[in-house]
Amino acid sequence: MATSPPRVRAAPSSYPWLLIALLWVVAFLNAADRSVIVAVMPSIRTEFGLSDTQLALISSVFFWCYAAAALFTGRLGDSARRTRVVIYGLVFWSVATGMVPLSTGFVMLLGLRAVVAFGESTYYPTATALIGDWHGPGMRSRALSIHQTAVFAGSGLGAILAGVIADHFGWRAPFLVFAALGLVWAIVLVRMLRDAPIRHTKAERDRNEEPYGVVLRIKPALMLLAVFFLANGVANGVTVWAPTFVHDKLGESLTGSAFYGSASINIAGFLAVPLGGLLADVLARRSPIGRFYTLAIGLVIAALLLAPMAWATSGFEVAVVLIGTTLGKGLFDGCIYAAMHDVVPPHARSTAVGMMTTCGFVGAGVAPLFIAGASSTLGMAAALGSLAAMYALAVVILLATRGMTRAAVEANREPATAEEIVE
């Protein structure tokens, strides 16, 4: 369905980077709201008398609902004003997060987390497309990677703050705090967030297709769906279970387990993601598929450094492994959205990222259940380490499809912006 461009208010030349700052806070809250449940899982397990499988389902159901919703909310970002989608989505998931403390049992908790998932699914497809509207191909990886650091900051600081608040006021309190912060920031966005004119590519001008059809006919885009399924599955499996592993097996408090098992991941990711964006933009100037090589390099590092988790016996050792593997995954995260933008024209980018999110979050839902089952026979540490094989498979897919990826990038090339010409 073709859409008319939004009316765009005049914006200062610095606005593309102000946009990154505004959306960084939203992405921080998106990740923080999601991470609270991980930090308080031991307390929820005690209050409701849950098994490990039920604990895994709390995260898995969230990601599956997120995955199902993103398939449609991504399309919304290509048919409605992207700024409105971001703002209304933030309000929706903040209110839903504030309702989680009303849970009186396992089923109600699952239901409310599903509502939060629906609201959060509106954000990333639309936000990445909006950033792509304001930043051209030569700067896009760096812009998106800076935005992506908010995921690690939100997950890490969110988990620590949730652990501290829960230790003092109970597991329900962190949800209320982050819900209030989201509603306050939505007011700021109403005044400051702006849509941008979309720059068209030749591939888009030649075809007026429905965005779903555009994505489905681009084979490298489908390849990225599979790669994101694998990579996001591994990352979430580790993120969900590492804090509980450190708490249960290594005897740390909620705050300590959040630090070793969660903050370590997010500190490393926060540092690595901008490097991934910079490396991707540098390699993209040398090769049309430079961003795809960056994806492969990151996942090779992530796989090699995750495998030693099988032998970790202390909180410190777990943190070292998590920092190492996340440095590699951070390179991947720094350019995954820009890589999708390289092969998909602007009017279908929110839809494409929504479809990629669907695949990634299906993987994110499967991995925690796999670990819950495998840990009964392999042990939790070995089950976490075995996920390195999924990273390795993603690398094989990236390298095996580089020929068709090069052709798709060339066909979808955009004109450079003024800032990129100056650079």
Q: Which of these, 5, 66, 52, 75, lies nearest to 371 by C-alpha position?
A: 52
Residue 242 pLDDT > 60? yes
Q: Over the stretch 177-188, which tens digit does the pLDDT of each residue have? A: 999 999 999 999
DSSP letter, residue 309: G
CB 217 within 8 A of CB 344: no
Q: What is the largest CA-CA distance in the chain?
A: 61
Q: How many CB atoms lie within 10 A of CB 384?
A: 29
pLDDT at residue 392, rounded to an integer: 96
Rounded distance, CA 161 to CA 156, Å?
A: 9
Rounded distance, CA 423 to CA 415, Å?
A: 14
Between 136 and 406, residue with greater pLDDT = 406
Contacts of 84 (CB under 8 A, 6+ apart): none
Q: What percent of the chain has pLDDT over 70?
A: 88
pLDDT at residue 243, rounded to an integer: 77
pLDDT at residue 3, rounded to an integer: 47
At residue 2 the predicted structure's pLDDT band, cuts being 50, 70 and 90, is very low
SS3 assignment, position 263: helix
Distances (CA, A) of 80 to 73, 84, 190, 212, 392: 10, 8, 16, 15, 38
Q: How many CB atoms lie within 10 A of CB 245?
A: 26
Radius of gyration (C-alpha) of the chain in whole angstroms = 20
For 327, phi and psi rounded to 5 degrees? -60, -40
At residue 10 the predicted structure's pLDDT band, cuts being 50, 70 and 90, is low
**Measured distance between the N- and C-terminal CA atoms of the chain, rounded to whole angstroms:** 36
Between 250 and 406, residue with greater pLDDT = 406
Between 362 and 297, residue with greater pLDDT = 297
Average pLDDT over residues 206-224: 86
Domains plus CATH for the chain?
15-196+210-413 (1.20.1250.20)
For 50, phi and psi rounded to 5 degrees? -95, 150
- Tell me which of 151-155, 224-228, 240-244 is least confident: 240-244
The four Cα atoms 368, 160, 24, 102 give a dihedral, to 10 degrees, of 70
Average pLDDT over residues 343-363: 91
Residue 359 pLDDT > 90? yes
Both tokens assigned to 391: 């990273």
Rounded distance, CA 370 to CA 385, Å?
A: 12
At residue 422 the predicted structure's pLDDT band, cuts being 50, 70 and 90, is very low
pLDDT at residue 420, rounded to an integer: 45
Q: Which of these, 222, 214, 213, 226, lies nearest to 346 by C-alpha position?
A: 214
Rounded distance, CA 147 to CA 391, Å?
A: 23
* Per-residue exposure over 270-300, b if at least 16 CB sit within 10 Å of its own CB, e if not: bebbbbbbbbbbebbeeebbbbbbbbbbbbb
Average pLDDT over residues 292-300: 97
Between 140 and 59, residue with greater pLDDT = 140
SS3 assignment, position 17: helix
pLDDT at residue 258, rounded to an integer: 61
Average pLDDT over residues 110-115: 91
Both tokens assigned to 332: 């991947």
